[in-house]
Chains A and B, each alone.
Chain A
Amino acid sequence: MKKTALDYTLKIRLPLILFIILSTYLITFYLSRAERDGVGYTPQQPIKYSHKLHAGDMGIDCQYCHTGVTKGRHALVPSVNICMNCHNVARKDRPEIIKLTEYYEENKPLPWKRIHKVPEYAYFDHSVHVNKGIDCESCHGNVREMEEVSQMKSFTMTACLDCHRNPHEQLQYLEQVNIGPENCAACHR
C-alpha cells in the first residue's frame, strides 16, 4: 500500500501534537492554578497600612473602617476621612501618615490596589452574608495576622458553591445556617 500524507498525519503527527498540547496544558494548569485564582496575591499598596497592627494588636473592629457591609453590596474601603478620625492626632509624624494626610488635605484620590474580586458577571452582596452571621475570615482569611493583606482563599464559583452546598461543614461556628441558593440567577443576572 502506498504511503500517503493522510496516513502519516493521522498515525504519527496528530497523536504527537495532541500529546504535547495536552501535557503542556496540564502542567501549566496545575502550576498556575493559585496565580490564576489570585490566591497569594499581595500587591504593594500606596500606603503601607498594617491590618495586623490596627485590627490585630489594637483590636479595631473590621466594620469601623469597612462600613456599609451590613447595608449594601460592598464592604467599602474606608474613605480617607475615616483614617483621619484618629490620625488627626495619632502618629502624625510617621512618614506613611504624612503621606496619608497629604492625600486627605489635597483631596487626591487614594488608589488602593484591589485584592479580592469576583468577576463582573457575578453579583456578590456582602450584606446578605454578613447579616446571616458569616464572619469576614471565612472568605478573607485571618486578616488580623497580616502585615500586608493577601488573598487567602480562592474566589471561584467552585469556592462559592462549596460553601453554599455545605454551609454546616464550612461554617461550623454558625449554629443556624440555611443552605445557600444554588440557582444561576442568585449571582448571575
Chain B
Amino acid sequence: MKNVSTDKKEFWRSLKEYYDNPETFRNKINEFQDGVTDDFNPDELNKFSRRKFLALMTASAALTATACTNYRDKGEIIPFTNRAEGHLPGTPDYYASHINGKSVLVKVREGRPINIEGNPDHPVLSGRLDAQTPADLLNLYDPERLKNPSINTSSADWSVIDSEVLGILNKCADDNKEIALITHSVNSPTQFKLLEDFSKKYNSLKIYSYELVQNNRLKAWKNCYGNLDIPSISWDKAKIILALEADFLARDDNAIGNAILFAQNRDVMNSTEFNRLYAVEGGLSLTGMNADYRLPIRPDAQFHFVTALLNHFVIERKISFAKIPAAVENIISNYSLADFSNEFNVELKIIKNLANDLLTHQGSSIIYAGETLPVEVHTLVFLLNEVLANTKLYNFKSGFKYYNTATDFTDFKTLSEKLRKGEVGAVINFDANPVYHLPSAVDFADAFSKFANSISIVESENETSAISKYVLAANHELESWGDHQTRADLYELQQPVIAPLFDTRQKENILLTWLNGVYDEKAYHKYLMANFSEIIYKKQNTPVDVKTYWYNCLHDGFVELKNSYTSDGSFNLDNVSLSLPKIDKSNFVVHLQKSYFVGDGKFTNNGWLQEIPHPVTKITWDNYASISPLTADSLGVKNDDLIEIKTGEGNLTIAAFVQPGLPENTIVIELGYGRSVIGDVGKGTGFNANKLISIEPSNYIINKNVSVSKIGGRYKLVSTQEHHSLDDTFVKDFHKLRKIIREGSLEEYKNNPNFLHEDELHLVGITREHQYEGLKWGMAIDLNKCISCASCVTACNIENNVPVVGKDQVSRGREMQWMRIDRYYSGTPNAPEISNQPMLCQHCDNAPCENVCPVNATNHSADGLNQMAYNRCVGTRYCANNCPYKVRRFNFYDFREHLADAYYQNNLSNLIHNPEVTVRSRGVMEKCTFCIQRIMDARSEAIKENRELKGTDVVTACQSVCPTNAIVFGDINDKNSKVSKYREHKLGYHVLEELYVKPNVTYLAKLRNTHSEES
C-alpha cells in the first residue's frame, strides 16, 4: 500500500481505482523487489557444521524419549468414609421440593443440585414447568450472592448482629415505636404463622406486603364477593375464551396450570373441536400471539369494551340478571358495541362474532382480565361472567389461596412519611426490594436511606440492602425449609437439597432467632414440623404416625387436602361505584407489564433468563418501549432510538422498539429491568420503569399527562430474530412460500383433512438410502399446542450445559441455545398474524452438515441420530454453513471465560454443570443431540432389566417440561408409537421438505379456529 501513488491522493474510493495504478500492478507480479537476493552467500550461513547439528538433534531426541518414561498421574479417588445408604456416586438422586412457587423435583448429583425438573405427580402442574423456575438454579450458584452478614458494609458475626437487632427490637417494643416489616405476599402457612407470632411478641410490628405488580383481580373479587376465596378457572371446559389484556398463558401466576388445561382443547389427535381464543389487548403478548382473533385496542379502553359487551347482552339481547345495581345499569345502558367500535376504530364484525360466540356458549365460555387492569374493569368482568353464567367454569374446589391482600402503595407512602418524622423504630426488609420496586410517588428510597435502624434480609445485594445498616445473608430456596399453599386443596412442602454454601441463614430462622432469643440451626425445621402436625396432619385423619406421614409428604412434595371453597353466590355490586371515563385517543397511554423471564428483578442477574429471547420481539438482555409503527412514524422514531416518557409520576428515558400489532399512541414497557445495584451479569440491562407506576389506586395503565418525545441518542437493543433466518431473500410471507410454516383453519381441515398435502411434490433421491433397522429416534412438535413459552429453551440449557454468551455476542448472532423459537409475521403491520415454530436440530437422514465435515466429526448413528463428536471437531464451521435449518452453534470463545470477566467460571458456578454432558470449549461446533445422555441412560437401564430399549423410555429435557405437551419423542420405526402417529398424521409436515434432507422432526400444522364464513 505504501507504493500507491504518493504524489496523488492518499486514499482510494474503489478497488478498481486502486488496481488501475500501474505501479501497484508491477509490484503484484514480482514477488521480491529487484536486487534483494544478489548478495546471498550460503557459506556464511554455516556457523556450525552439519555433524554438530545432527549430534545435537540426536541428543535432544534421546532426552525427549527418556523424559517420556514417566507415567502420567491420574489423580486420586477419595471414597466416602461412611457412604449413606441408597446413595450411589455417579447416579442422580431426586428430591421433591418447592422453588419459585412451583412444586419441583431437584436432581442432585454427588450432593449438588444440577437440574430442576417438574414433579410429575403434582395434581396441577403434572411435572411441567415454566422457563423461570429451572433457571433459579443459577441463582444458587451465583458468585455474587451474599456470603456473610454485615453491619455498615463490613462483615460481622451473626451473634453480634443478633444481639444488636434484639436490642433495637426490644427498645421499639418498650417505646411502642413501630417496627415495619416489608415482605412480598405470603403464601406459606408456616411463614404466616411465624409473622403472626412475631407480631404477638413485638406488638408494634406492622407488616407491609406487596408485589411489583399488585393483584387487582383479587382486590376486585374482594369487593364483589366479600372474601378472598378466588376460584381457579377450568380452562379445559371453556369453548370460548376472551382474554382482556390477560396473558394467562405466560404472565399469570398460574400460567403453567392454565396452559396445560388450555392446550387440552387444542389436541388435534383427540378431537377436532378446538376452543376459540379472542385476545383484546394493547401490547402484543404471548397469549395474543396464540389467539385465533386478536383485537388491538388501547389498554385504557378495556373498561369501555366490557361496558359495551354488557350493554349488548343485558340491554340488547335482554339477558336478565337480578343483581345489576342501578348505578351500573346507567353506565352500560348508554354505551353500545357500535359506539365502542366507532370510538376506537375496531372492526364491528369481529366484535359481533365474539358477542355471538359468547352468547351461544353461555356457561362454557370465560372472560378473563389481566392483573394490571384496574379494579373497575375486573369488577365489570366478574359481572359479565355472572350474567353469562360462566361462573360454571369457576373451580372453587381448587381455588387460589391468599392469606391477605397486598398493602396499598398509598400505605407505603404513609410509611415513608413516618420514617421521615422518626415515628418508626426499625424497618425489617424481609427478602424484598422496596427501594427498587416502589414507584417514585411513594418516595421511599430517600426516606429509607436516611433511616438508621434498617435491617435487610436478602439473598444477594440489592438496592435496599445497599443502604441498610444491617445486611443479613439469607439462604437460597434450595437451602431452605418451607411450606406453601397456593390452592385451597393443595399443601406443598419445600426441603433443602444442599447445605448452605456460605455463612448464611434461612430468612425465617433469622426471625425465629429474634423471637426465641437464641439461634438454633434446626429451629425453623422444628417449627415447620410442629405447624405441619397442627394444620395438616391432625386434619387428615390418617392412621399413620406423624413422623411417617411427614416423611411421606416430604417424599411426595405435596399433600392433597380435603378443603375446598364453595360458591356462596354472594355476588354483590351495591358498594361499587363506577363511571365511564372519557378517553382522548390522541393522548398517549403507557402500559407497564410483568416481564416474561426476569420476574420483578429477582432474576436480573441470571444470565440464562436474560438471554432467552422475548417470546414476541425476540429481544434479549433489555426491556424497551414498544410502540406501533404508525405512532413511531409520527414521532419520527426508529428502533433503538431513545425516547423520553413524561408522566405525572416521573420521567423515563428508554429505548424504543417498533412493534407491529400495537394500537396507536400506546406504549408498552416491561418491568423488572434497570436495576442499579446488581451483579456483573445484570449490570446495565434495560431501564427502570417501576417509577412510572401510579399509586392511587395502584395502576399500571397510565394515560394522564403522558407526553412522549424523541430525544437524541440511541441504545442498542439486541434481537435474535434476524439471526439464523431461514432465508435471506426478504419476500413477504416467505415462510409460507418456502413451506417453513404451514397453516390452515380448523374449518378447512374438517372439510378436507388432506388439504395440506394436496400440492405435494414427489421427491426422488439420487443417493443410496440408508436402512434403519431397530430403533430410530424422532420427534414431533404439535404447533397447535405450542404456545412458545420457552420452557423448553431453559430446560435444554440446563440439561446440556449451554453457556450464556452476553448481549454483545448475541448482537453478533452467537447465541448458543440449541433450541430456538422462530416467530414469523404475516399480514399487515397493524394486525399481524403470528406463527411460531420451535426449531432445533432436525437429525436429517440425509444430513447436509455431515457431508462437508472434513474430519468426520459429525456423522450419523444407526439409530438415526446426527451425532457430534466435539473431540474431533476442528471448527471449520462448514457444517453450520451447510445446515438449512441454521441450528448449529459455534463456540467462538470459551464463553464461560468470555462473559463478564469469567463471571460463570469459578469454583462455585462450575458446580451447576451436568456431569453427563461435555462442557464444550472454544472452537467447537455443537447442537441438539436429542438428549443423547438420556438415551444412553435409558439404554443402560434397559440392559440392567435385561430387555430391549423402547422409544417411550426416553423423555428429552424439552419434552419433559413442555406445559402443553406439544413435544413428542420416541421410536419412529415402531408404528404404534405416539411419534409415528404424529408423523403419519395428515397435518404432519417437515420444514423445507423439498430439500430432501429427510428431517426427523415432524411438525403438525397449526389450525386456526376462525369462523367458517372467513375461511
Contacts and interface: CB of A to CB of B under 8 A. Distances in A.
B80 interface: yes
A3 B42 contact: yes
Contact of B871 (A2, A71, A121, A131): A121
B730 interface: no
A51 B700 CA distance: 74
A8 B867 CA distance: 49
A110 interface: yes
Contacts of B72: 35-36, 38
B65 A27 contact: yes
Interface stretch (B95-103, B503-511, B534-542, B935-943): B935-943
A95 interface: no
Contact of B68 (A35, A77, A116, A120): A35
A28 B943 contact: no
B77 A77 contact: yes
A178 B37 CA distance: 68
A78 to B, nearest CB: 6
A164 B27 CA distance: 60
Interface string A1-31: 0111100100000001000100110011001
Given A28-B61, A115-B74, A189-B917, A128 B943 contact: yes
Interface stretch (B83-91, B134-142, B950-958): B83-91
Q: Tell me whether chain B's interface is mostly helix, strand or loop, or mixed.
A: loop
B918 interface: yes
A42 to B, nearest CB: 9
A117 interface: yes
A183 interface: yes
SS class of chain A's interface: helix, strand, loop or mixed?
Answer: loop
A57 B401 CA distance: 68
Contacts of A115: 74
Interface in A77-116: 77-81, 103-104, 107-116
Contact of A32 (B65, B862, B936): B65
A54 interface: no
A186 interface: yes
Contact of B78 (A16, A112, A121): A112
Interface in A32-87: 32, 35-36, 38, 40-41, 43, 67-68, 70-74, 76-81
A150 B522 CA distance: 48
Contacts of B861: 183-186
Given A31-B68, A112-B77, A74 B870 contact: no
B844 to A, nearest CB: 16
B52 to A, nearest CB: 13
Nearest to B933: A189
Contact of B936 (A28, A35, A189): A189
Contacts of B58: 20
Given A183-B861, A189-B936, A4 B37 contact: yes
Given A72-B91, A111-B76, A123-B936, A81 B64 contact: no
A35 B69 contact: yes
A123 B871 contact: no
A131 B942 CA distance: 10
B83 A28 contact: no
A132 B943 contact: yes
Nearest to B68: A32
A157 B656 CA distance: 56
A27 B57 CA distance: 13
Contact of B45 (A8, A103, A110, A185): A8
Contacts of A32: 65, 68-69
Contact of B37 (A5, A68, A120, A188): A5
B87 to A, nearest CB: 10
A127 B940 contact: yes
Contact of A110 (B73, B81, B917): B81
Nearest to A185: B867
A147 to B, nearest CB: 18
Contacts of B936: 123, 125, 185-186, 189
B916 interface: yes
Nearest to A23: B61
B70 A185 contact: no
B78 A8 contact: no
B159 to A, nearest CB: 27
A78 B79 contact: yes
B74 A80 contact: no
A185 B929 contact: yes
A114 B76 contact: yes
B954 to A, nearest CB: 13
A184 B45 CA distance: 52
Contacts of B50: 16
Interface string B910-952: 0000001110000000000100110010011001101000000
A130 to B, nearest CB: 10
Contacts of B53: 16
A68 B89 contact: yes
Contacts of B79: 76-80, 110, 112
B737 interface: no
A117 to B, nearest CB: 5
B869 interface: yes
A111 B75 CA distance: 9
Contacts of B870: 121, 188
A121 B88 CA distance: 21
Given A79-B83, A110-B78, A185-B929, A70 B869 contact: no
A104 B54 CA distance: 58
Contacts of B76: 111-114
Nearest to B800: A189
B40 interface: yes
Contacts of A76: 79, 83, 88-90
Contacts of A110: 78-79, 81
A132 B58 CA distance: 50
Given A27-B61, A128-B943, A114 B81 contact: no
Contacts of A73: 90-91
Contact of A38 (B74, B91, B871): B74
Contacts of A128: 939-940, 943-944
A114 B867 contact: no
B80 A188 contact: no
A107 B81 contact: yes
Contact of B90 (A5, A8, A68, A108): A68
Given A110-B78, A111-B76, A183 B68 contact: no
Interface of B: 37, 40, 42, 45, 50, 53-54, 57-58, 60-61, 64-65, 68-83, 88-91, 859, 861-863, 865, 867-872, 916-918, 929, 932-933, 936, 939-940, 943-944, 946
Interface of A: 2-5, 8, 16, 20, 23-24, 27-28, 31-32, 35-36, 38, 40-41, 43, 67-68, 70-74, 76-81, 103-104, 107-117, 120-121, 123, 125, 127-128, 131-132, 181, 183-186, 188-189
8 contacts: A5-B45, A16-B54, A31-B68, A31-B69, A40-B71, A125-B936, A127-B944, A184-B859
Given A113-B75, A185-B869, 11 more contacts: A31-B69, A71-B88, A76-B83, A77-B77, A103-B81, A111-B77, A112-B79, A123-B933, A181-B862, A183-B859, A185-B936
Q: Which 7 pairs, one residue from A and one from B, show the smallest C-beta to C-beta distance? A: A183-B861, A24-B61, A32-B68, A79-B83, A79-B80, A74-B90, A185-B867
